[in-house]
Amino acid sequence: MKYIVNNSHNPAYNVALEAYAFRELLAEDELFILWINEPTIVIGKHQNAIEEINKTYTDEHGIHVVRRLSGGGAVYHDLNNLNYTIISNKSQEGAFDFKTFSQPVIETLADLGVTATFTGRNDLEIDGKKFCGNAQAYYKGRMMHHGCLLFDVDMTVLGNALQVSKDKIESKGVKSVRARVTNILDELPEKMTVEAFSNQLLNKMKESYPDMTEYVFSDDDLKNIQALADQQFGTWDWTYGEAPEYTIKRSVRYPAGKITTYANVEKSVIKGMKLYGDFFSIKDVADIEQALIGLRYEYPDVLAKLQTIDTTQYFTNITPQEIAKAIVE
């Protein structure tokens, strides 16, 4: 295990650095990164940015919007939010083991007198209130786990910047974002800064991995990371993409995530399709979108096609029947 020191607060650069470590530093078996962003909404790989954010609010308040490589839902970061990343070659592809990789956070908080628990699909909670969402991505047998820790985040901005859909509020059985989240600082018996908490978490990792050393980026590494930030993660195309043309929109939420379908259907035949959501996947859902073009827009036709594909690679813990139902009634 090696750790990377990242002092940047630029969100596009930070997502690029993480992606570079994940996809290019393949010789490094395990990596650990801690990072902090300026006010930013980070959306999941499969989400429709415009539907997840309050764009008027983010524009007025200078809040960045970036898209990450992993699935899952949108999260709000600011300078009092700590993000951590664990990259590993030692994880079974597609296992989506959130609990194991959340242990360092749970143990760090225990040392500070706070009991945290792993719950639901991918959350960490203190007394039933969420303070950390986790996501994972896979690439060539390599796993990237990252979590965003609410340390002392401005909850008013969080509530205003994120556009939480009615079905998510109903599925959680709560009235608002703010009602179900907490800041770590509010739960600590003794107050500390986010930087001090970051050091505590790094020390916990060093305790767990006594041989852990620092990975220092070369000049070439840094140039490549900046290029990734400029050419991919900081671009409009990557974050927002083109708005899909559609004649039918359908949205279904399952315990494993939401699927929203934009289908362009002419004379009952699928001419184009875009699938969005906060689900987790190993492969790119563009493969599924392409596979369904030309089919009749009927449930039996869509299901029959999906049953010829290993859909577990594209929608974790969602059955072909559920996927088909999210596409067509």
pLDDT interval class at 155 (50, 70, 90):
confident
Instruction: Give the DSSP per-residue string, 274-309.
Output: EEEES---SS-THHHHHHHTTSBSSHHHHHHHHTTS
Q: How far is CA 62 from CA 7, 15, 71, 249, 290, in A?
A: 21, 18, 25, 31, 36
In the structure, what pLDDT confidence band is assigned to residue 93 with cuts at 50, 70 and 90? low
- Are 2-239 and 248-327 the same fold in CATH? no
Spatial contact of 125 and 119, defined as CB atoms under 8 Å apart: yes
State the DSSP H helix or E strand holding residue 135, giving kind and residue range, or none if neither. strand 129-139
In this predicted model, what pLDDT tens digit does every residue of 227-267 receive, in sequence order? Answer: 999 999 999 999 998 778 899 999 999 999 999 999 999 99
Cα angle for residues 232, 233, 237 (degrees, 5° grid): 65
Average pLDDT, the chain: 91
Q: What number does CATH give the domain 248-327?
A: 3.30.390.50
**Correct CATH for 2-239 of 3.40.50.1970, 2.40.110.20, 3.40.980.10, 3.30.930.10:** 3.30.930.10
**Residue extents of the structural domains in the chain:** 2-239, 248-327
Are 311 and 318 spatial neighbours (Cβ–Cβ below 8 Å)?
A: yes
Tell me: the pLDDT tens digits for 184-228?
Answer: 999 999 999 999 999 999 999 999 899 999 999 999 999 999 999
